C-alpha cells in the first residue's frame, strides 16, 4: 500500500511502531505512546507523524528523555568506527563527512565526545544534515560551555529536528 494511501486509523499499532519506532533513536516507546494516545489523525504525513511523536516525546519523563538522548551514538565515535550505527545514523554522519575525518580531526572529536559525556551525562547531539565537519565541530566547542539544563534543552530540540528529517525522507 503506498504511503499516501495509508491513514492513521487504518494502520495497526504494530505497523505504526514497526515503521516509526526507530525515528527517535532506539526508542520505540515514543511511537507506541503516540499511537496509543491516538495522536496521529488523518493521512500519514511527515508533519502529522512528527507532531504526534514530538508530543509523545515531550510528555515523557525527564528520565525517559535522557534515555532517548543516551540512545544516540557519539559523533564519529566507537560505533561509527566499528560499523554498528543504525542505518539512519550512518547515513547522517556520512553525509556530514564524519566518516572521512583526518586523524587530527578524529582525535578532536574523541576528546570532545569524552568531555561532553563526562559533563552532561549524554552524548553530543546535533542534526548533522546540511552541516559539514567544521560547523559540527564549532557547535560542539560552543555548546560544551553550556549548563546542563541548557544543553538538555538543546539536545532534546536537536533530537526533534533529527526526527523531522528522518520522517521527511519516509513520508510526504
User: 139: part of which helix (H) or strand (E)?
Assistant: helix 133-143
CB 125 within 8 A of CB 72: yes
Give residue for cell 533530537.
159
Active site residues: 72
CB 24 within 8 A of CB 53: yes
Strand partners, 7: 43
Residue 74 to residue 171: CA distance in whole angstroms: 27
CA distances (Å), 133 to each of 17, 76, 106, 129, 159, in order? 33, 10, 10, 11, 19
Residue 109 to residue 118: CA distance in whole angstroms: 14
Full DSSP string of 60-78: S-HHHHHHHHHHSPPTTSH
Amino acid at each position: 500500500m503506498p504511503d499516501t494511501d495509508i491513514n492513521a486509523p487504518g494502520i495497526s499499532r504494530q505497523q505504526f511502531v514497526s515503521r516509526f519506532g526507530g525515528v527517535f533513536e532506539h526508542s520505540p516507546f515514543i511511537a507506541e505512546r503516540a499511537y496509543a494516545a491516538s495522536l496521529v489523525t488523518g493521512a500519514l504525513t511527515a508533519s502529522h507523524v512528527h507532531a504526534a511523536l514530538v508530543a509523545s516525546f515531550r510528555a515523557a519523563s525527564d528520565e525517559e528523555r535522557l534515555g532517548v538522548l543516551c540512545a544516540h551514538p557519539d559523533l564519529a565515535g566507537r560505533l561509527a568506527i566499528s560499523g554498528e550505527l543504525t542505518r539512519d545514523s550512518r547515513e547522517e554522519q556520512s553525509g556530514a563527512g564524519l566518516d572521512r575525518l583526518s586523524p587530527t580531526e578524529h582525535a578532536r572529536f574523541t576528546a570532545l565526545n569524552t568531555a561532553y559525556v563526562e559533563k552532561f551525562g549524554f552524548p553530543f547531539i546535533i542534526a548533522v544534515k546540511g552541516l559539514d565537519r567544521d560547523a559540527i565541530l564549532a557547535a560542539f566547542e560552543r555548546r560544551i560551555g553550556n549548563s546542563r539544563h541548557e544543553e538538555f534543552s538543546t539536545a532534546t530540540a536537536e533530537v526533534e529536528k533529527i526526527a523531522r528529517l528522518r520522517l521527511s525522507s519516509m513520508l510526504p
